[in-house]
Amino acid sequence: MIRQAVIVAGGLGSRFGDRTKLMPKGFIEIDGVPMVERSVQKLIAAGIEEIIIGTGHCSEYYDELAEKYHIIKTVRNDNYMNTSSMGTLEVCVPYIKGDFLLLESDLVYDSVGLKVLQNEQRPNVILASGKSNSHDEVYLAADDDGVLYEVSKNKEIIPNPSGELVGITRISKSCLDKMMAYYKSDKSLIKLDYESALKQVSISGEPVFVHKVEYYAWTEIDDESMLDRALNQIYPRIKENEELQNIRREVLLNPGPATTTDSVKYAQVQSDICPRELEFGGLMEWCAEKLTSFAASTDEYTTVMFGCSGTGADEAMVCSVVPEDGRLLVIDNGSYGNRLAKIAKVHKLNFDVFESSTYEPIDLKALEKVLSSKKYTHLAAVYHETTTGLLNPIGEICTMAHSFGMTTIVDAVSAYCGIPMDLKTLGIDFMASTSNKNIQGMAGVGFVICNKKALEATKDIPIRNYYLNLWDQYQYFQKTKQTRFTPPVQTFYALRQAIIETEVETVEKRAERYTACWNILVDTVKKLGLKMLVKEENQSHLITAILEPDVPDYSFEGLHDFAKEYAFTIYPGKLGNINTFRIANIGDIQPEEMQCFCGKLTEYMKSIGL
Ligand SMILES: *Cc1c(COP(=O)(O)O)cnc(C)c1O
**Is residue 312 a part of any domain in this protein?**
yes
Give yes or no: residues 512 and 561 share one domain.
yes
Q: What are the tens digits of pLDDT across the range 95-132? A: 999 999 999 999 999 999 999 999 999 999 999 999 99
Q: Which of 252, 308, 309, 318 to mutate to test the pocket of ligand 1 (most atoms within 8 A of CB)?
A: 309
**Is residue 501 a part of any domain in this protein?**
yes
pLDDT mean over 547-563: 95
Calculate the alpha carbon distances from 550 to 142, 507, 598, 608 in Å.
Answer: 75, 38, 19, 11
Q: What are the tens digits of pLDDT across the range 316-363? A: 999 999 999 999 999 999 999 999 999 999 999 999 999 999 999 999
Give yes or no: residues 344 and 445 share one domain.
yes
Residue 574 has pLDDT above 80, yes or no: no
- Reduce the DSSP state of residue 506 to 3 states and report it: coil
Q: What are the tens digits of pLDDT across the range 224-251? A: 888 999 999 999 999 999 998 899 999 9
Domain that holds residue 547: 507-607
| CB 544 within 8 Å of CB 582 | yes
* Ligand 1 centroid, distance to 413 Cα (angstroms): 6
Instruction: Give the model's confidence band at 572: pLDDT under 50 very low, under 70 low, under 90 confident, else very high.
Output: confident
| Domain end point (choices 244, 274, 306) | 244
Residue 160 has pLDDT above 80, yes or no: yes
**Total count of residues recorded for the chain:** 610
**Is residue 252 a part of any domain in this protein?**
no
Q: What are the tens digits of pLDDT across the range 284-300? A: 999 999 999 999 999 99
pLDDT mean over 547-557: 94
Give yes or no: residues 269 and 407 share one domain.
yes
Q: What are the tens digits of pLDDT across the range 515-537? A: 999 999 999 999 999 999 999 99
H helix runs in 134-277, sequence order = 173-184, 194-203, 224-229, 235-245, 262-267
Q: What are the tens digits of pLDDT across the range 332-343? A: 999 999 999 999
Residue 14 has pLDDT above 90, yes or no: no
The secondary element (H helix, E strand) that includes residue 279 is helix 278-293
* Ligand 1 centroid, distance to 28 Cα (angstroms): 46
Q: List, chain by chain if needed, residues with CB within 6 Å of any ligand 1 atom.
A: 255-256, 309-311, 314, 336, 382, 386, 411, 413-414, 434
**Is residue 282 a part of any domain in this protein?**
yes
CATH of the domain at 53: 3.90.550.10
Give yes or no: residues 421 and 387 share one domain.
yes
> Residues 6 or more apart from 332 whose CB is under 8 A from it?
338, 340, 341, 353, 354, 355, 356
Count other C-beta atoms under 10 Å from residue 375's C-beta: 12
Give yes or no: residues 270 and 353 share one domain.
yes
Per DSSP, what are the bridge partners of residue 30? 33
Give yes or no: residues 349 and 211 share one domain.
no
Closest atom of ligand 1 relative to the 436 alpha carbon: 9
Q: Which of 414, 440, 582 to mutate to test the pocket of ligand 1 (most atoms within 8 A of CB)?
A: 414
* Ligand 1 centroid, distance to 305 Cα (angstroms): 15
**Is residue 251 a part of any domain in this protein?**
no
Give yes or no: residues 284 and 216 share one domain.
no
Count other C-beta atoms under 10 Å from residue 155's C-beta: 11
CATH of the domain at 360: 3.40.640.10
Give yes or no: residues 385 and 293 share one domain.
yes
**Is residue 250 a part of any domain in this protein?**
no
**Is residue 511 a part of any domain in this protein?**
yes
